[in-house]
Every structure is written in C-alpha cells, then in structure tokens.
Chain A
Amino acid sequence: MLAPGGVLMFVVIVVPLAVALYVSLLDLDQYTFRQWVHAPFIRLGNYSEAIQRSNLLHSIRISVGYATIVTLATLPIGLAAALATQNRFRGRGLVRSIFLIPYVLPAFVVGTVWRIILQPDGIAEHTLSRFGVSEDLWLNGPRSFWALVIVQIWASWPLVYLLALAGLQSIDHTMHEAAALDGTGWWSKLRYVIFPFLRGPVTLAMLIAFLHNVNNFTLPFVLFGVPSPRDVEVLPVLTYVEGFQNFRFGVSAAMAVFSVVLIAIPLAAYLRAVRLDVGQA
C-alpha cells in the first residue's frame, strides 16, 4: 500500500533531486545550458565558489534566524487561536474561516499589500507616528529583517492553528470530564491535560512551518525585490538570483544543496530528540 505514494515521490522528487545534484557539479550557465548534458564537469568547484565568493553563509544565517523567530512566534498565536475557537459560539464558523484567510492569500498578494503598507510615508508610518514612533524605512536597512518577520508571522500562523485544531479533536470527552471533576484551573488543565495531546500535531506544524519559512521565496522577493537588501538576503532569494538572474545554475544548485544539507542535519538530530515518529504512544 506504500507503492502509489512511494513511486510518485520517487519519480517527482527523488529523480529530479538527483538531476539537481548532478547539475551542482557542472559549470552550467547561459553559455552552456542549451546543451546542459555537455556542460563541463567541475566536481566541487561550484561548492567552493558558493562558500568563498558569495553571500551564502550570511544568507544561511539570515534565513535560519528569521525562520526560527517566526516559527517560535507563531506557536502561541496559533495555539491561542485554536483554543479560543474550540468551544461553540455564534459565528464560530465565520471566525474560523477568517482566521484562515492570511494563509489563503497568495504570497505575492500578501507581499504587495504589505509592501504598500510599509512603504515610506505609507500607512504603517502614519499609524506609528501617532504613537510617537517615527520609523519610516521598513523595506531596507536593519528594520527590513523585522518587517519580513512580522509579515511572515501574519501569513503563517494559521498553519499552527489548523493543526492544533485538529489535535484538539482527538481529545476524548472523558478527559475534559476528569479535569472538571478534579476542579483543575484552566491553566493547569491546558498544561497537564490538553497540551500533551497537542504535542504531536503542533510539533509537526512547527517543523513544517520552519522548513517553509527557510524556503520561502515569494514573500521576501515581492517585499524587497532583487537585488535584495543585505539584511533580508535570505537563502531562497540568493539561490534564485544566482540561478535565474545571474544564470549560474551550477552555483545556484550547489547553494540549494548546501542549504538542504545544513537544514537536514539539525532536523535529523531534532527528530531523534523529539521522538515524534516513534510508533504509537
């Protein structure tokens, strides 16, 4: 029964990945890519160029930093949203749907809307100035990093919310009753009764959110454009620019492979530690 899913993933992910790995060993650029199979094989040349002569390490730092902050920040928001909409009330369906909207909007629309909101002399600046804050440059310079963080939080918390909501459904009625009988306070109930049930789905949501944030290309691309300001030169944008604008496909592939390795190793360690995948509870 594993076959259909397995075959599909093998053909559409593993095979192209192998091709991409091979490409990362080629000197593939605008001059050679029409006959890409015949492009010069340069072994690890692209990798050393990526490390020594590009902003790769800087970008990895930015990407991991921003993804970590966003992921941690979406956890309480998503959880609170799920808990607050778990009990029935009038209009709950609508509220739940509205909560999904940021996740539903295409990333480039989110990017465009927030770019206009955050632009100098824009709505954000006007609103903030009423509170005595006069920060006008959000889309470049050190604050651009925080602009990216804020917008990404806005767009991605519904994922945690969705999974927490699903997790809440698997809590048996009797658990609630037991907690009520004990006269447990709401926080203790959450802490000792509810949260253990949510650990699995929420950890999963955070892992996925982290990976999506690390790989998010559209949002920073639309918010800041290319060439990207130094403070938001995230990995996917660097990879994209190197490949699709500078036409250094080999170097670009090497960068991407690098990022996969750099993310996969901590991920594997983390997975072992949280034991998310170890059979039945």
Chain B
Amino acid sequence: MKRDSSVHQLLPRPLRLAVIAVLLASVLIPLCYMFFASVNSDLSVAAGEFWPQQLDFGNYLRIWSTVELGGGLVNSLIVAGAVAVASALLATLTAYVLVRFSFLGRLAFLRGLLALQSIPGTLMLLPVFVLFASLATVFGVQVIGTRWALVVTYLTFALPFSTWVMVTYLRGLPRELDEAARIDGASSWGVLTRIVVPLSWPGLIVSGIFAFLLGWNDVLFASVMTNPESRTAAVALQVFGATQEGGAIPVYGQMMAAALVCALPVVVLYLIFQRYLISGLTAGGVK
C-alpha cells in the first residue's frame, strides 16, 4: 500500500509543518496554562500568574472528593455514549431515506432540520422540562432525574445535525452499490445494514462525536434534569467554579485539574475511533 505517498500529498511539506506547529501551539499554550494552574495555588491563579509558584499535584486527588466526579464521569459516559450511538444510527436511517427515496416534503424536511438548529436552548428549557415533568403527573412515569431524560433530550437535539452529516455523506455513495445489492435480493434493511453502514464509518464517527460532545458538554439541561445520582460530569465541574458570596475565591486549581481529567476520556475515545475516520470509501472497496 503506497497510498500515502506523494500522490496523496495535499500540502507542501513546509506549509504542512507550519500549519501543524501554529495550530498545536495555539491549542497547547492555553492547555499548558490550564495544567500550570491545576498545580498552582488558587490565590496565584486569581492573581493571573502563568508560572506556578508551587507544584501541588494534590488537586488531582482532591477533585474526586470535592464533588462526585467519578460518578459524574460514569453518568456522562453512559449518557453521551448512548446519545452518540443512538443518534448515529437513527441519523443514518433517516438520512438514507432522505437521500435514496424521493417523496413529497423531502426538501422541506431537510431544511426544517437545519431550522431546528436555530432554536436557542434557553427558549426550550422550560417547555421541555414541563413536558417531561407532566409525564410523571399524567402517566406516573418519573422521567426527570433519570439518565434517560437526558439521553432523549440530547438525542433529539443532536439528530438534525447528525442527519445532515449523514445526508452529505451518503450522497457520496454510488447508487449502483444499492442497486447491485437489491438485484442480489437484499431488502432495504439489508442494504442499509450490509452496504450503507459499513461504508459510512467516517460519517458515522463524525456525527457520533458531535452528538457525544453535545451530551458531554451540556450544562443547561443537565443542571435541572438530574438528581445527585444522575448528575453528569459537566454539572459536577461547575461546582469548582462556585463562589461563596463575598467570601473565598473559587478553587481554580481543582477546576482546571478536573477539566483536564474530564477531557481525557474524550481524547482516548477519539484515539480508539479515529482509524475509522480514515477507512471510508477507499477501504470499502468501492473503487
């Protein structure tokens, strides 16, 4: 396999290195600062110092007892993971229909999906909450406070975008593949699971990552829809930023430590999945 040879070269080497170096620096310098702050004393962080006066790694221990960070991380992984998987699959299903079949209102539906993205979360918070809360009064199902309430909410907010990603992606798949499979006697479902999904990994991964991060980072909905047991890491993180009125300063060091720790699972997940990002069409034997 010499696929990555000069034939595939996109940028001249010096330019490529320059781009990588500049971007790495712009990402890493603030991150370095976060790391320095995480081992620094809260007072010097508040004073805006860059170099730490001390190297106190105790913050990395303290964060676990200050809030239920461990439980929060587990909740976040479960919620965001479920949202990622479900939204990638549902989006593929929806997108497949939108790309392969033509029906009345198809364009309206597609554009409507994007329009949904323009609705601010603050507008939706109270109505969504009331909707879920009324499930408890009407059907006797307690939804608020469970992880499922969050999964359903995030899944829905992620779907429009995930669907669009899959639409742009599936559009690139040659129709002939479907047709060949159909001639072989495959049903729509069979085509979807055996041809479309295996070929769409990059799209699936991107829409999955997007949905995952939506669930991972949200604070607005999570802070009112969770109880102490189902609280997500992002909400737990906020406690570190809490200020006591007129009193002590926030525990900046722990906050930075916790933020870095919380970023780690996502980075690891990405490392695991990233090879699927490069095994798209070319690896699928489409040529």
Binding site for B on A (CB under 8 A): 1-2, 4-6, 8-9, 11-13, 15-17, 19-20, 23, 77, 80-81, 83-88, 93-109, 112-114, 116-117, 119, 121-123, 126, 154, 159, 162-163, 165-170, 172-174, 176-177, 180, 186, 189-190, 194, 200-201, 204, 207-208, 211-212, 214-215, 217-218, 235-236, 239-240, 243-244, 249, 252-253, 256-257, 259-260, 263-264, 267-268, 271, 276-281
Contact = CB atoms under 8 A, between A and B. Distances in A.
A85 B20 contact: yes
25 contacts: A8-B155, A8-B156, A13-B124, A23-B126, A84-B19, A87-B8, A93-B271, A97-B271, A98-B267, A100-B270, A104-B216, A104-B263, A106-B237, A108-B237, A116-B252, A154-B30, A194-B10, A236-B120, A239-B122, A259-B118, A260-B115, A268-B115, A271-B111, A279-B102, A281-B171
B128 to A, nearest CB: 5
A243 B122 CA distance: 9
Given A8-B152, A9-B156, A122-B48, A108 B110 contact: no
A123 B116 CA distance: 40
A81 B205 CA distance: 18
A252 B124 CA distance: 11
Listed from nearest, the 3 A-B pairs whose CB atoms lie closest are: A16-B127, A169-B280, A122-B48
B180 interface: no
B93 A163 contact: no
Give the dominant DSSP class at B's interface: helix
- Most central of A108, A119, A169 by chain B CB within 10 Å: A169
B278 interface: yes
Contact of A204 (B128, B165, B277): B165
A111 to B, nearest CB: 9
B217 interface: yes
Contacts of B234: 106
B20 A95 contact: yes
A162 to B, nearest CB: 5
A19 B119 CA distance: 13
B206 interface: yes
B221 to A, nearest CB: 11
Interface in B83-142: 90-91, 93-94, 96-99, 102, 107, 109-111, 113-124, 126-128, 130-131
